[in-house]
Amino acid sequence: MSPADRVPDVVIGRIPLYLRTLSQFQAQGIRITSSKELAAVLGTSADQIRKDLSHFGGFGKQGTGYHISYLVGQLKRILHADREWEVALVGAGSLGSALLNCKEINRRGFAIVAAFDRDPTRIGSQAGGVTIQDGRHIEDEIGLRNIKLAILAVPGPAAQQVADTLVASGIRGILNYSGLALRVPEEVMVQDMDPAAHLQRMTYYLG
């Protein structure tokens, strides 16, 4: 795919939001919706939704709206979310344990199947049905299971070293809760989850 044909990352970031809202509509028994109805729920514009979806083809007809079950299936296909993805978690403290017990992650097509920590008091314990393993086994376990996604929930000072280990193990995507800006190869995707940064974004508008 040439740069000219590449879908902007900001658009890719909105597709899961559309999928989540459509899935909620589907759970309510709604069969057909419109870009206007989606926009009202998401706080965006109908034009923006139509423009985003147009990157991937035509999914609705003027005046008839979108058939939700079809569009949900298509968006899952676009996001490769029409299969279950195995995920590794590094850092089984309070945040990591909460993520292991988060049923919504499973409902959205992701299964945390391996968890690691360096704290001897956590190794061997269970959370969310997963046994916490010694962090020294990261490369062996991830390589054995061919896991491609990882959640990094370790303190900032340890984050880069752990990220290096994850990349060496074959991880291609890291959801980063460490608060540290990671240095990874270009082909590895990192999504930063920094609650403090999001709160600071909101306080800008409140000051």
Query: Across the chain, what does the average pLDDT equal?
Result: 93
Q: 59 to each of 4, 42, 69, 173, 197, how far by Cα in Å?
A: 22, 19, 11, 29, 36
Q: Return the pLDDT at 58.
A: 75
pTM: 0.88
- Nearest partner of 14 among 57, 45, 59, 36, judged by Cα: 45
For residue 94, what pLDDT band results from cuts at 50, 70 and 90?
A: very high
Q: Which residues of 88-106 are buried (b: 16+ CB within 10 A; e: fewer)?
A: bbbbbeebbbebbeeeebe
pLDDT number for residue 1: 46
Under the banding of pLDDT at 50, 70 and 90, the label for residue 5 is: low
Mean pLDDT over 152-174 rounds to: 97
pLDDT tens digits along 29-57: 999 999 999 999 999 999 999 999 999 98
Which residues 6+ apart lie within 8 Å of 55 measured at CB? 7, 11
pLDDT digits (tens, 9 = 90+) for 131-156: 999 999 999 999 999 999 999 999 99
pLDDT above 80: residue 3:
no
The CATH class of 85-197 is alpha beta
199 pLDDT higher than 70: yes
> What average pLDDT does this structure show over 59-86?
90
Residue 2 clears pLDDT 80, i.e. is over it: no
Q: Which residues are within 8 A (CB) of 7 and not within 5 positions of it... i.e. 6 or more apart?
A: 55, 56
Residue spans per domain, the chain: 3-78, 85-197
Place of tokens 């559309």: 18
Q: Does CATH place domain 3-78 in 1.10.10.10?
A: yes
